[in-house]
Amino acid sequence: MSAPPNPLVVALDTSDLDAAVALAEAVSGQVGMVKIGLELFTAAGPSSVSRLAERAPVFLDLKLHDIPTTAGRAARNAGRLGAAMLTVHALGGPEMVRAAVDGAAEGAGEAGITPPEVVAVTVLSSLAEAAGASPASLAFEAVTAGARGAVVSGDDVKVVREALGQDPILVVPGIRPSGARSNDHARVLTPVEAMEAGADRLVVGRPITESTDPAAAAGAILEEIGWR
């Protein structure tokens, strides 16, 4: 069995591509992926993916959610860019998830590159119940429709892992190293709590990006979970 990949994903939440590139350079030896979210993508566009992919694998967090045809076409465009992972919203439904998975594979095929792993964002338990679905059922549906895994909150990772089994990738944002501020998250998990609950990937933004030494902050998180 191959060793698990470095689980740490750094969210480069900035509108300034040069700042994002500098951050990616600072942490590239320490992290598994860098995440481009809506802020950076809407500021710097598709070329942000190729620039950052030179430094580290890119998690393209576009959270696609539209009719299947539109989401599929957007995923096809995204699939050409060279990202390692792409997000869609599980609430878009299985048909949309399938269209996005197929679109991403098609785009990557056209570019002659490996397709991004498509992971489906579930929603917090409280919101999911209002929408008539649990995070576990949303994640299960998305994986059945071809998604490689799901993005789940700290509150939900354990139950989703139990529902999905070991194979799907579970990505967990809202992680705070012990002692760090929670910022705007209602509930945070420490890196150890998230890994023990079944996370494969930990998304961490400000505790790393706002640190005076981002590489050391990333290294301290890996040390906390005993990853080497």
Cα–Cα distance for residue pair 18/185, rounded to 1 Å: 27
Question: Does 205 help bind ligand C5P (rule: CB under 6 A)?
Answer: yes
CB atoms < 10 A from the CB of 28, how many?
A: 17
> The tokens of 206 are what?
């400000």
Whether residue 35 lies in the annotated active site? no
Exactly one of 174, 177, 191, 198 binds ligand C5P (CB under 6 A); which one?
174
Q: How many residues bind ligand C5P (CB under 6 A)?
A: 14
Q: Which stretch binds ligand C5P (CB under 6 A): 18-26, 45-53, 112-120, 197-205?
A: 197-205
Q: Which stretch binds ligand C5P (CB under 6 A): 26-34, 47-55, 140-148, 201-209?
A: 201-209
Binding mask 144-173 for ligand C5P (x = CB under 6 A): -------x-x-------------------x
The active-site residue out of 16, 51, 63, 227 is: 63
* Length of the chain as a residue count: 228
Question: Does 204 help bind ligand C5P (rule: CB under 6 A)?
Answer: yes
Cα–Cα distance for residue pair 56/33, rounded to 1 Å: 6
Q: Name the DSSP letter for residue 175.
A: B
Q: Is 66 exposed, middle or buried (0-12, 13-18, 19+ CB in 10 A)?
A: middle
Q: What three-state secondary structure class fits 35? A: strand
Active site residues: 63
Give me the residues that bind ligand C5P (CB under 6 A), please.
11, 13, 35, 37, 151, 153, 173-174, 183, 185, 203-206
